Amino acid sequence: MSDTHGLLRPEVLPALKGVARILHLGDVGRAEILDQLTRIAPVTAVRGNVDREGACARLPETEVVLVEGLSIYMLHDVKTLHLDPAAAKFAAVLSGHTHVPNFHTKKGVLYFNPGSCGPRRFELPVTVGLLEVNAEGELRPEIVTLRVS
């Protein structure tokens, strides 16, 4: 998930039901959001460009998580990526910032942006992303559009 900008919509919680881990890709907005998310599953979060004060300002710019043997690189803005994920053997690069949900594979690395689940921006959908490791040990990305008023 990404770009909550201080708003944890009630529609987000059911979409995350049953997940083993929550990865927040920055622009959290308020540390209380991370506290609420930890009630669902363990949370790993990185700092976004709006995370300038308090506990959110102390989040790391990047993070690496290991999920079922797969290394996943987390950062807020993919344009600030200063390494070759394929050479570093990352299975995926997760980012937010643009509020545009999308994913593609390049040189065997999944690039995944779950979009934004905070305040609506322009006419973009409100979304979260799900990543599943299938039986073959491959990442399966899914973008979930939330019905919000």
The pTM of the full predicted model, rounded to 2 decimals, is: 0.96
Residue 122 has pLDDT above 90, yes or no: no
Residue-range definition of the domain harbouring residue 114 = 12-145
Residue 53 lies in a domain: yes
Please check whether residue 120 is in contact with residue 148, taking contact to mean a CB–CB distance below 8 angstroms.
yes
Residue 5 lies in a domain: no
| Residue 84: predicted pLDDT | 98
Among 110, 107, 106, which residue's Cα sits nearest to residue 134? 110
Residue 93 lies in a domain: yes
Residue 2 lies in a domain: no
Q: What is the pLDDT of residues 55-109, one digit of tens each?
A: 999 999 999 999 999 999 999 999 999 999 999 999 999 999 999 999 999 999 9
Report the CATH number at residue 29: 3.60.21.10
Residue 126 has pLDDT above 80, yes or no: yes
Q: What is the pLDDT of residues 23-46, one digit of tens each?
A: 999 999 999 999 999 999 999 999
Number of independent structural domains in the chain:
1
Residue 4 lies in a domain: no
Residue 63 lies in a domain: yes
Residue 80 lies in a domain: yes
> What string of DSSP letters covers 88-126?
TT-SEEE--SS---EEEEETTEEEEE--B-SS--TTPPB
Residue 100 lies in a domain: yes
The token pair at 121 is 């921006």
